[in-house]
Structure 1
Amino acid sequence: MIVRVIALLLWLPMQAAAQGFAGLGTDAEGFAVPTPDPAFDFPQDHGPHPEYRIEWWYLTANLTGPDGTAYGVQWTLFRSALAPETREGWSDPQVWFAHAAVTTPDRHLVAERIARGGIGQAGVTVDPFDAWIDDWRMAGPSFDDLTLTARGNAFAYDLDLQATGPLVFHGENGFSVKSAQGQASYYYSQPFYEVTGSLTLPQGDVPVTGAAWLDREWSSQPLAETQSGWDWFSLSLESGDKLMGFLLREDDGGAFTSATWIASDGTTTAYPDGAFAAQPLDWHEVAGRDVPTRWAVQLPDKGIDVTVQALNPDAWMALSIPYWEGPVTVEGSHEGRGYLEMTGYE
């Protein structure tokens, strides 16, 4: 029985790792799929949607210590379904896993947790909001007022998050198209968190302040079969405006793009395929892979022409599903900070 349980816990992450992120383009038969004109229901939609195959609560934060040192923090809870239902106990087909990281200019510290649904080890409730896996937690009286905790072998963090702006919705009112063939997700963000708290690092505790961005997304087939990975940018500019943009790489060398301009007051402008551009400028070898860690990013309609540079080019997430994730700086037509995620680099 123990061997069977361990195999079930590990099956989904190992399958995803073997397929690469192109596995997210496999058939969604039996699962719900996103459709246009979503009608979101809050706070209920802050919680899980087990009828969809993949979902995440994805927070990144750009932080600063007392001496001006820049830090990055990631906290991500993933839900993946083996079947579109929930059950009590070990037979529940929902698999949960989570990633946490702290990035400094010269270190990248990561940890991972894996859990089975149905036994209380991981989950999300909405009133009050509580997302957890083991002793990692993002919880508070509401989605706008949260405490975030996680720990690994060489790090921990304890952060308070206070939202100062509204939720924003990507694509067509939260229906985010991912390919020319029409694959899509439901996608909204809270990009306006102010952060205070502390990091526990090998050299000791560090008080930090800064800003965080939380992405909520769910789907059953977010990629097309011809797409192998993505490059995703969340950029917070000194003007108070923000930019989310991604390109989904095609096997033939092309890419599908999408972007959302978020004004400082929370109003948004959605941009279709082709309006947003990102080109690698420099590549860096990490974990035996060449990964682009310096980019030219443009959104001509808003006068954006910037260079996005990794704070630490070695921010590789060496976990059961490997990818690159880390804080970045923004220079050029606009100044700022943000986060970059890159998947599917073999």
Structure 2
Amino acid sequence: MGSRARRARFRRLAAAALAALAGSLVLFTAGASPASAITYHPVSLPADESPHVDAGMEWWYITGHLNGKDLLGKSHSYGFETMVVRNDGISTAPVATIYNVNFAISDLTRGTYKGTKEIYSIQPDVVPPGGGYNFTVGSVHMDGKNGVNHFSGGFSDLSYSFGSMTASQSTPAALHGNAGIIPYGPFGQSGYYSQTNLKVNGTLFDHGMPVQVTGTAWLDHQWGDWTPGKGGWEWYSIQLSNNTQYMLYFIRDENGNYVQTVGTLVQPNGSTTNLPPAQLSRTTTGTWTSPNTNITYPIKSTVTVPGGTLSVTPQLPDQEVWSSLVPVGQYWEGTATVGGTINGQAVTGMAYAEVIPYIEMPGHGYVWQSVLDLLGL
């Protein structure tokens, strides 16, 4: 099916979904006044695992590294991203909210990457009793509570899909910044916590072949009624061989200047330390130019943290999440290896690195015109 036909089909589905949500909805386009303002408070789990109906935008995502064997005994290695983005871009939450799935598999055995961000749904916000989250968008399902998460689904062509996957950890979630509230550069403030040392097991269907996989993963949940602004960032989730983890966030303004740095060190028992921004830095050591978008991404880097430096090297150069239907918000997010020295000790590990080259961050009632066009609004 061509892109024009896919666009037309999606518009029909979106229109039907809006009609099914009933009533009369007052729709706001880009730049509309906020319907409400979020009240930030110290993060409390599992209540804050749920959708925040006063947030303009939020996301839950799990990235990780998997290894396993198929039925024929062949070994496989993968990186993966499964992510749900919630956007109150038409100011109708909690009755009707835009949900979007980003899904990607880095097949390290084949040396290939496949991703999509073209799965959209307009559906009510659901806040489970007692906290946690539970939603299905297209073929992708995610739910979780108290450090136990499940996910399933994948690509519509069945090239890669997850069966029933479980990702859990026994240590507390890491609340970044001030009790889970971080400064967010040109975008104001953000609620933000992570589960940094998830143990994963389940089945990945690789072109129809079931592969029993295990591995490690990282869950991020971030939300806000952000100040509409322009900028970007580089972000890292780093899981080291000494069982410590680092979250590093380097946030840029619209001119490419770093204006906010946020970092957290997570100890093996789950305790956290906020890292002084002045002791955090990053240097680009390698780039990749996308043949899809012509964006040049700084995908290889060295980061400095208190006590040492770490080199972050992508396992595949092409791990860009992009869309021909929604040509905004393109980004690079990929599995990487880590090596370096911390406090005089050599360390190795795994990471996911994210590069947002440029984004116009929305608040309530603010949605990119291309998304409005795609939804037929």
In the other structure, the counterpart of 1:73 is 80
For 1:102 and 1:178, the matched residues in 2 are separated by: 29
Find 1:328's aligned residue among 305, 324, 336.
336
Structure 2: unaligned runs, 5 residues or longer? 1-9, 19-29, 342-346, 360-377
Q: Given the alignment of the two structures, is residue 201 of structure 1 paired with residue 201 of structure 2, yes or no? A: no
Residue by residue over 1:253-274, the C-alpha shift from the partner in whole angstroms, topping out at 9 and shown as x without a partner, is 4212111111111111112433
In the other structure, the counterpart of 1:175 is 181
In the other structure, the counterpart of 2:281 is 277
In the other structure, the counterpart of 1:132 is 136
Find 2:36's aligned residue among 24, 28, 31.
31
In the other structure, the counterpart of 1:165 is 171
Quote how far apart the aligned CAs of 1:338 are: 1.3
Quote how far apart the aligned CAs of 1:85 are: 5.1
Q: Given the alignment of the two structures, is residue 342 of structure 1 paired with residue 355 of structure 2, yes or no? A: yes
Partners of 2:232 and 2:256 within 8 A in 1:
no
Partners of 2:187 and 2:226 within 8 A in 1:
no
For 2:276 and 2:32, the matched residues in 1 are separated by: 25
Quote how far apart the aligned CAs of 1:136 are: 1.5
* 1:137–1:285 Cα change, 3 Å: same
Q: How does 1:248-259 map to 2 (within 5 A)?
A: 248-255=251-258, 256-259=260-263
For 1:188 and 1:136, the matched residues in 2 are separated by: 22
Residue by residue over 1:10-38, the C-alpha shift from the partner in whole angstroms, topping out at 9 and shown as x without a partner, is 9xxxxxxxxxxxx9xx7974432454xx2
For 1:285 and 1:8, the matched residues in 2 are separated by: 39
Quote how far apart the aligned CAs of 1:306 are: 1.2
Find 2:250's aligned residue among 247, 250, 257.
247
Q: Secondary structure at the match of 2:277?
A: coil
For 1:272 and 1:103, the matched residues in 2 are separated by: 33
Quote how far apart the aligned CAs of 1:251 are: 3.4
CA root-mean-square deviation = 2.8
For 1:3 and 1:68, the matched residues in 2 are separated by: 42
For 1:335 and 1:54, the matched residues in 2 are separated by: 35
In the other structure, the counterpart of 2:57 is 54
Larger radius of gyration: 2
The one-letter amino acid paired with 1:197 is G
* 1:206–1:218 Cα change, 3 Å: same
Q: How does 1:84-95 map to 2 (within 5 A)?
A: 86=93, 88=95, 92=96, 94-95=97-98
Residue by residue over 1:61-95, the C-alpha shift from the partner in whole angstroms, topping out at 9 and shown as x without a partner, is 1112346653111111111113555354xxx2x11
Find 1:233's aligned residue among 230, 233, 236.
236
Q: Secondary structure at the match of 2:226?
A: coil
Q: Secondary structure at the match of 1:45?
A: helix
When normalised by structure 2's length, the TM-score is: 0.76
The one-letter amino acid paired with 1:214 is L
For 1:133 and 1:331, the matched residues in 2 are separated by: 37
Q: Secondary structure at the match of 2:279?
A: coil
User: How many aligned positions are there?
Assistant: 316
For 1:289 and 1:123, the matched residues in 2 are separated by: 36
Quote how far apart the aligned CAs of 1:135 are: 3.4
In the other structure, the counterpart of 2:221 is 216
* 1:203–1:48 Cα change, 3 Å: closer
Quote how far apart the aligned CAs of 1:132 are: 1.9
For 1:7 and 1:273, the matched residues in 2 are separated by: 46
* 1:69–1:87 Cα change, 3 Å: closer
Quote how far apart the aligned CAs of 1:250 are: 2.6
When normalised by structure 1's length, the TM-score is: 0.82
RCO (CA 8 Å, sep 6+): is it higher in 1 or 2?
A: 2
* 1:163–1:145 Cα change, 3 Å: same
For 2:322 and 2:231, the matched residues in 1 are separated by: 18
Quote how far apart the aligned CAs of 1:8 are: 10
Q: Secondary structure at the match of 1:48?
A: coil
Q: Secondary structure at the match of 1:274?
A: helix
Partners of 2:297 and 2:357 within 8 A in 1:
no
For 1:4 and 1:69, the matched residues in 2 are separated by: 39
Q: Secondary structure at the match of 1:65?
A: strand
Q: Given the alignment of the two structures, is residue 150 of structure 1 paired with residue 138 of structure 2, yes or no? A: no
The one-letter amino acid paired with 1:151 is G
Find 1:292's aligned residue among 283, 298, 315.
298
Find 2:190's aligned residue among 180, 185, 190.
185
Quote how far apart the aligned CAs of 1:46 are: 1.2
Q: Given the alignment of the two structures, is residue 306 of structure 1 paired with residue 313 of structure 2, yes or no? A: no
The one-letter amino acid paired with 1:327 is T
Find 2:89's aligned residue among 77, 82, 87.
82
For 1:108 and 1:4, the matched residues in 2 are separated by: 30
Partners of 2:53 and 2:94 within 8 A in 1:
no
Q: Secondary structure at the match of 2:278?
A: coil
